[in-house]
Protein backbone atom coordinates (compact mmCIF):
# COMPACT_ATOMS: atom_id res chain seq x y z
CA UNK A 1 0.00 0.00 0.00
CA UNK A 2 1.35 3.42 -0.92
CA UNK A 3 1.46 5.73 2.07
CA UNK A 4 -0.02 9.19 1.75
CA UNK A 5 2.39 12.09 1.75
CA UNK A 6 2.61 14.28 4.81
CA UNK A 7 1.85 17.97 4.53
CA UNK A 8 5.57 18.79 4.71
CA UNK A 9 6.36 16.30 1.93
CA UNK A 10 3.64 17.71 -0.31
CA UNK A 11 4.98 21.23 0.23
CA UNK A 12 8.53 20.00 -0.40
CA UNK A 13 7.55 18.45 -3.74
CA UNK A 14 5.51 21.50 -4.73
CA UNK A 15 8.28 23.98 -3.96
CA UNK A 16 10.92 21.84 -5.63
CA UNK A 17 8.84 21.70 -8.81
CA UNK A 18 8.19 25.46 -8.74
CA UNK A 19 11.92 26.10 -8.50
CA UNK A 20 13.11 23.44 -10.93
CA UNK A 21 10.38 24.45 -13.36
CA UNK A 22 11.49 28.08 -13.28
CA UNK A 23 8.31 29.55 -11.75
CA UNK A 24 10.43 30.67 -8.79
CA UNK A 25 13.55 32.15 -10.33
CA UNK A 26 17.08 32.30 -8.86
CA UNK A 27 17.28 35.00 -6.23
CA UNK A 28 13.51 35.08 -5.66
CA UNK A 29 12.52 35.70 -2.04
CA UNK A 30 10.72 32.77 -0.43
CA UNK A 31 8.49 34.23 2.26
CA UNK A 32 6.89 31.66 4.53
CA UNK A 33 3.58 33.53 4.76
CA UNK A 34 3.29 34.06 1.00
CA UNK A 35 4.20 30.44 0.23
CA UNK A 36 1.79 29.13 2.86
CA UNK A 37 -1.02 31.15 1.28
CA UNK A 38 -0.03 30.05 -2.21
CA UNK A 39 0.04 26.37 -1.28
CA UNK A 40 -2.90 26.43 1.12
CA UNK A 41 -0.99 25.20 4.16
CA UNK A 42 0.31 26.53 7.46
CA UNK A 43 3.77 28.03 7.85
CA UNK A 44 5.17 24.97 9.65
CA UNK A 45 5.39 22.60 6.64
CA UNK A 46 6.70 25.49 4.53
CA UNK A 47 9.48 26.10 7.06
CA UNK A 48 10.35 22.39 7.10
CA UNK A 49 10.38 22.21 3.31
CA UNK A 50 12.63 25.26 3.00
CA UNK A 51 15.10 23.70 5.43
CA UNK A 52 15.23 20.50 3.40
CA UNK A 53 15.62 22.41 0.13
CA UNK A 54 18.45 24.38 1.69
CA UNK A 55 20.18 21.08 2.50
CA UNK A 56 19.80 20.12 -1.17
CA UNK A 57 21.35 23.40 -2.28
CA UNK A 58 18.19 24.62 -4.00
CA UNK A 59 17.44 27.30 -1.41
CA UNK A 60 19.69 29.68 0.50
CA UNK A 61 18.69 30.69 4.04
CA UNK A 62 20.55 33.64 5.53
CA UNK A 63 20.16 35.08 9.04
CA UNK A 64 17.92 38.15 9.11
CA UNK A 65 17.32 37.88 5.36
CA UNK A 66 15.16 34.79 5.12
CA UNK A 67 15.11 32.28 2.30
CA UNK A 68 15.73 32.79 -1.40
CA UNK A 69 16.08 30.54 -4.42
CA UNK A 70 19.77 29.74 -4.68
CA UNK A 71 21.96 31.60 -7.16
CA UNK A 72 25.40 30.87 -8.65
CA UNK A 73 28.29 32.87 -9.97
CA UNK A 74 29.62 32.45 -13.49
CA UNK A 75 32.69 30.65 -12.14
CA UNK A 76 30.52 28.22 -10.17
CA UNK A 77 28.41 27.46 -13.24
CA UNK A 78 31.48 26.87 -15.38
CA UNK A 79 32.92 24.52 -12.78
CA UNK A 80 29.70 22.54 -12.57
CA UNK A 81 29.45 22.14 -16.32
CA UNK A 82 33.13 21.16 -16.58
CA UNK A 83 32.51 18.35 -14.12
CA UNK A 84 29.24 17.35 -15.71
CA UNK A 85 30.80 17.21 -19.19
CA UNK A 86 33.27 14.64 -17.86
CA UNK A 87 30.76 12.40 -16.06
CA UNK A 88 27.46 12.40 -17.97
CA UNK A 89 28.83 11.53 -21.44
CA UNK A 90 30.57 8.51 -19.92
CA UNK A 91 27.36 7.41 -18.22
CA UNK A 92 25.55 7.78 -21.54
CA UNK A 93 28.16 5.58 -23.20
CA UNK A 94 27.71 2.96 -20.46
CA UNK A 95 23.95 3.04 -21.06
CA UNK A 96 24.28 1.97 -24.69
CA UNK A 97 24.98 -1.78 -24.26
CA UNK A 98 22.35 -2.00 -21.51
CA UNK A 99 19.54 -0.41 -23.51
CA UNK A 100 17.00 -3.03 -24.59
CA UNK A 101 14.58 -2.25 -27.46
CA UNK A 102 11.92 -1.28 -24.91
CA UNK A 103 14.32 1.17 -23.29
CA UNK A 104 15.17 2.74 -26.63
CA UNK A 105 11.47 3.02 -27.42
CA UNK A 106 10.83 4.74 -24.09
CA UNK A 107 13.64 7.23 -24.66
CA UNK A 108 12.50 7.80 -28.23
CA UNK A 109 9.02 8.62 -26.96
CA UNK A 110 10.44 11.09 -24.44
CA UNK A 111 12.65 12.72 -27.08
CA UNK A 112 9.75 13.24 -29.47
CA UNK A 113 7.42 14.45 -26.73
CA UNK A 114 10.08 16.99 -25.81
CA UNK A 115 10.28 18.09 -29.43
CA UNK A 116 6.50 18.42 -29.56
CA UNK A 117 6.17 20.62 -26.47
CA UNK A 118 9.49 22.44 -26.72
CA UNK A 119 9.75 23.43 -30.37
CA UNK A 120 9.19 27.16 -30.92
CA UNK A 121 5.66 27.94 -32.07
CA UNK A 122 2.14 28.60 -30.82
CA UNK A 123 1.94 25.28 -28.95
CA UNK A 124 5.26 25.54 -27.15
CA UNK A 125 5.07 24.63 -23.44
CA UNK A 126 8.46 25.05 -21.80
CA UNK A 127 7.12 24.13 -18.36
CA UNK A 128 5.98 20.75 -19.72
CA UNK A 129 9.46 20.25 -21.18
CA UNK A 130 11.14 20.25 -17.76
CA UNK A 131 9.88 16.91 -16.34
CA UNK A 132 10.26 15.18 -19.72
CA UNK A 133 13.87 16.30 -19.96
CA UNK A 134 14.57 15.18 -16.42
CA UNK A 135 13.00 11.77 -17.12
CA UNK A 136 15.16 11.36 -20.24
CA UNK A 137 18.43 12.08 -18.46
CA UNK A 138 17.47 10.05 -15.39
CA UNK A 139 16.64 7.06 -17.60
CA UNK A 140 20.09 7.14 -19.19
CA UNK A 141 21.74 7.22 -15.77
CA UNK A 142 19.64 4.25 -14.65
CA UNK A 143 20.55 2.28 -17.77
CA UNK A 144 24.25 3.03 -17.25
CA UNK A 145 24.09 1.02 -14.01
CA UNK A 146 27.18 2.67 -12.57
CA UNK A 147 26.35 3.81 -9.00
CA UNK A 148 29.67 5.53 -8.36
CA UNK A 149 29.45 7.78 -11.40
CA UNK A 150 25.73 8.28 -10.84
CA UNK A 151 26.43 9.58 -7.34
CA UNK A 152 29.17 11.85 -8.67
CA UNK A 153 26.81 13.19 -11.33
CA UNK A 154 24.09 13.87 -8.77
CA UNK A 155 26.56 16.07 -6.94
CA UNK A 156 27.77 17.73 -10.12
CA UNK A 157 24.31 18.64 -11.33
CA UNK A 158 22.92 19.76 -7.99
CA UNK A 159 19.28 20.44 -8.94
CA UNK A 160 19.54 24.23 -9.00
CA UNK A 161 22.19 24.22 -11.70
CA UNK A 162 20.03 22.08 -13.91
CA UNK A 163 16.89 24.04 -13.30
CA UNK A 164 16.26 23.29 -16.94
CA UNK A 165 14.83 26.76 -17.12
CA UNK A 166 14.41 26.57 -20.86
CA UNK A 167 13.17 30.14 -20.84
CA UNK A 168 16.86 31.10 -20.86
CA UNK A 169 17.40 29.34 -24.20
CA UNK A 170 17.34 31.27 -27.45
CA UNK A 171 15.58 29.54 -30.34
CA UNK A 172 18.74 28.13 -31.93
CA UNK A 173 20.07 26.72 -28.65
CA UNK A 174 16.72 25.17 -27.81
CA UNK A 175 16.42 23.51 -31.20
CA UNK A 176 19.94 22.09 -30.77
CA UNK A 177 19.06 20.75 -27.34
CA UNK A 178 15.90 19.04 -28.59
CA UNK A 179 17.76 17.57 -31.58
CA UNK A 180 20.46 16.18 -29.30
CA UNK A 181 17.90 14.03 -27.47
CA UNK A 182 16.71 12.53 -30.74
CA UNK A 183 20.29 11.88 -31.87
CA UNK A 184 21.22 10.23 -28.57
CA UNK A 185 18.35 7.80 -29.14
CA UNK A 186 19.67 7.12 -32.63
CA UNK A 187 23.08 6.31 -31.16
CA UNK A 188 21.49 3.97 -28.64
CA UNK A 189 19.54 2.24 -31.36
CA UNK A 190 22.74 1.81 -33.38
CA UNK A 191 24.58 0.47 -30.33
CA UNK A 192 27.27 3.12 -30.80
CA UNK A 193 28.63 4.23 -27.43
CA UNK A 194 31.18 6.60 -28.97
CA UNK A 195 28.45 8.41 -30.88
CA UNK A 196 26.23 8.63 -27.81
CA UNK A 197 29.09 10.01 -25.71
CA UNK A 198 29.90 12.65 -28.34
CA UNK A 199 26.31 13.87 -28.63
CA UNK A 200 25.88 14.11 -24.87
CA UNK A 201 29.12 16.10 -24.69
CA UNK A 202 27.77 18.54 -27.27
CA UNK A 203 24.44 18.65 -25.43
CA UNK A 204 26.10 19.69 -22.17
CA UNK A 205 28.29 22.30 -23.83
CA UNK A 206 25.20 23.78 -25.46
CA UNK A 207 23.53 24.05 -22.04
CA UNK A 208 26.70 25.50 -20.55
CA UNK A 209 26.84 28.25 -23.16
CA UNK A 210 23.22 29.17 -22.49
CA UNK A 211 23.46 29.22 -18.70
CA UNK A 212 26.79 31.04 -18.55
CA UNK A 213 25.54 33.68 -20.98
CA UNK A 214 22.38 34.13 -18.90
CA UNK A 215 24.47 34.46 -15.74
CA UNK A 216 26.73 37.08 -17.31
CA UNK A 217 23.75 39.04 -18.60
CA UNK A 218 22.01 38.89 -15.23
CA UNK A 219 25.15 40.01 -13.41
CA UNK A 220 25.57 42.87 -15.86
CA UNK A 221 21.99 43.94 -15.27
CA UNK A 222 22.60 44.59 -11.57
CA UNK A 223 22.02 48.26 -10.65
CA UNK A 224 25.33 50.07 -10.16
CA UNK A 225 24.30 51.35 -6.74
CA UNK A 226 23.02 48.03 -5.46
CA UNK A 227 24.57 46.79 -2.20
CA UNK A 228 26.87 43.74 -2.37
CA UNK A 229 24.94 40.49 -2.63
CA UNK A 230 25.77 36.81 -2.63
CA UNK A 231 23.43 36.07 -5.50
CA UNK A 232 24.83 36.94 -8.87
CA UNK A 233 22.96 34.79 -11.36
CA UNK A 234 21.83 31.37 -12.44
Confidence at residue 3, expressed as pLDDT on a 0 to 100 scale? 45
pTM of the predicted protein model: 0.73
Helix 101-118 and helix 126-144: axis angle, to 10°?
160
Confidence at residue 56, expressed as pLDDT on a 0 to 100 scale? 75
For residues 200 and 89, the answer to whether their CB atoms sit within 8 Å is yes
Confidence at residue 163, expressed as pLDDT on a 0 to 100 scale? 53
Please state which of the four CATH numbers 3.30.2130.30, 3.40.630.30, 3.30.70.100, 1.20.120.530 is assigned to the domain occupying 74-219: 1.20.120.530
How is domain 7-70 classified at the CATH fold level? Arc Repressor Mutant, subunit A (1.10.10)
Confidence at residue 86, expressed as pLDDT on a 0 to 100 scale? 93
Please give the Cα distance from 71 to 120 (Å, whole number): 27
Please give the Cα distance from 63 to 23 (Å, whole number): 25
Confidence at residue 162, expressed as pLDDT on a 0 to 100 scale? 54
Residues of the chain with pLDDT under 70: 1-5, 21-22, 158-165, 218-234
Confidence at residue 161, expressed as pLDDT on a 0 to 100 scale? 55
pLDDT tens digits, one per residue of 90-147: 999 999 999 999 999 999 999 999 999 999 999 999 878 888 998 999 999 999 999 9
The CA-atom distances, in angstroms, between 69 and each of 33, 65, 84, 119, 232 are 16, 12, 22, 28, 12
Per the DSSP assignment, residues forming a β-bridge with 59 are 69
Amino acid sequence: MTRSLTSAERVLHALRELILGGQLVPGARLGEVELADRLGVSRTPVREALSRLAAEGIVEIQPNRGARVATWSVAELEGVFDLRSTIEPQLTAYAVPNAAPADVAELDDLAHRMADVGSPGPHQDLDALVPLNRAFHDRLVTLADHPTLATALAGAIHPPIVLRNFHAYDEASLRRSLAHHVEIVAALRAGDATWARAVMTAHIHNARAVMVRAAIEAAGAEPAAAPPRNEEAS
